[in-house]
Structure 1
């Protein structure tokens, strides 16, 4: 993949979309961690905490890019991403698990630690979509993370208003997973490099993930309705 080629911008768009979809919880964490602080300190906490979170996530993603070059790990990462795409469709928000901090540095620490713990899906998805390009990792994170953080309210409102964003994000993550699965060396040696196989498998897995995710969500809704009754 050449720098600033059509493939580069396609991967960059995928990274930004995945970060927006996967970063909703992380954005909420930032707001909740600082909510009990005085108004004049909240912006400073968010700025410092977000800066630390961006640095740690960038380093973690760069490490993941190189780890995925180890034989077998890209395939395992692809399988994990398929599972994460499914969980994205079925998981409920877990922001109630995040406690608000009462001190300035306590809030900063909460933001950084929570983002690191909750950011595995982001790290793996971005590393897979980057196809081994560190510049793409850094550029994608620098563009998307500030959007998630400072535009978190808009992102959440957009997702609530247009729920289709979630399955679209899950589809993008699943396709990224397929590129990781078919890009693994032993898979290439077995089936060769074929865009037809890649897109065919992608279509099958996306359909399967969306179908299972829809059924799981429908079942949850029915159970909640029965409990309420």
Structure 2
């Protein structure tokens, strides 16, 4: 055990995992903040914790199969479509009568956090897996270390969203951009995109426009209905 702790290679790998995870966790913090912004403060904290811990556990397991999944045609296209829908959904206002379905809202936020982060993390875990060099325990420890950083970033974004609602739109747009990037990287589209390089830029931008456009459209249709009920 002491020999392991004194192994400089292990500490370098752990440092690399933490740095990679910090750099790649910006979108994770955005998702957590967006999904939890309408919950009561107590539920926000619980959803932060449950969602983040679940992400760490699932990403550790996902690392073992991520490199294989990314070679399967249309896996990233399906993930991109799912991410587009999540981004659109996050722009739609929830029913004001939250007390009747507080439990549903809470677990719905947790589910959104986990699904979106798993979809977005397929590429991310490959970088961390490379740094861990096959050591799953090291990968797990590295991600656990970054939990407080992800939670702090999410809490800070939540406060900013309350003061500046435009950040909600920008966050949802970010998910659309990530969805477009995922579609570009799908093996099934590689050959086609190789002959049309402009799609590498066009698809992420299209993702932003789809999320914000459809999200705002559906939100505008739902807002009058909520006002009428009130």
Q: Normalization by structure 2: what TM-score?
A: 0.64
Paired position in structure 2 for 1:158 = 160
Paired position in structure 1 for 2:57 = 56
Given the alignment of the two structures, is residue 134 of structure 1 paired with residue 124 of structure 2, yes or no?
no
Shift of 1:135: 4.7
For residues 220 and 25 of structure 2, the distance between their equivalents in structure 1, rounded to whole angstroms, comes to 29
3-state secondary structure, aligned to 1:70: coil
Shift of 1:210: 0.5
Question: Do the aligned residues in 2 keep the contact of 1:60 with 1:123 (CA within 8 Å)?
Answer: no
Question: Do the aligned residues in 1 keep the contact of 2:91 with 2:168 (CA within 8 Å)?
Answer: yes
Shift of 1:187: 0.9
For residues 70 and 82 of structure 2, the distance between their equivalents in structure 1, rounded to whole angstroms, comes to 12
Alignment gaps of 5+ in structure 1: 1-8, 36-45, 101-109
Shift of 1:64: 6.2
Paired position in structure 2 for 1:65 = 66
Distance 1:181 1:11, change over 3 A: farther
Question: Do the aligned residues in 2 keep the contact of 1:65 with 1:134 (CA within 8 Å)?
Answer: no
For residues 66 and 149 of structure 2, the distance between their equivalents in structure 1, rounded to whole angstroms, comes to 23
For residues 195 and 189 of structure 1, the distance between their equivalents in structure 2, rounded to whole angstroms, comes to 10
Shift of 1:50: 8.0
Distance 1:127 1:97, change over 3 A: same
For residues 221 and 56 of structure 2, the distance between their equivalents in structure 1, rounded to whole angstroms, comes to 40
Alignment gaps of 5+ in structure 2: 1-18, 132-138
Shift of 1:62: 2.2
Paired position in structure 2 for 1:83 = 85
Shift of 1:153: 4.5
3-state secondary structure, aligned to 2:73: coil
Distance 1:216 1:32, change over 3 A: same
Question: Do the aligned residues in 2 keep the contact of 1:53 with 1:116 (CA within 8 Å)?
Answer: no
Distance 1:157 1:65, change over 3 A: same
Distance 1:141 1:169, change over 3 A: farther
RMSD across aligned positions (CA): 4.3
Aligned length: 196
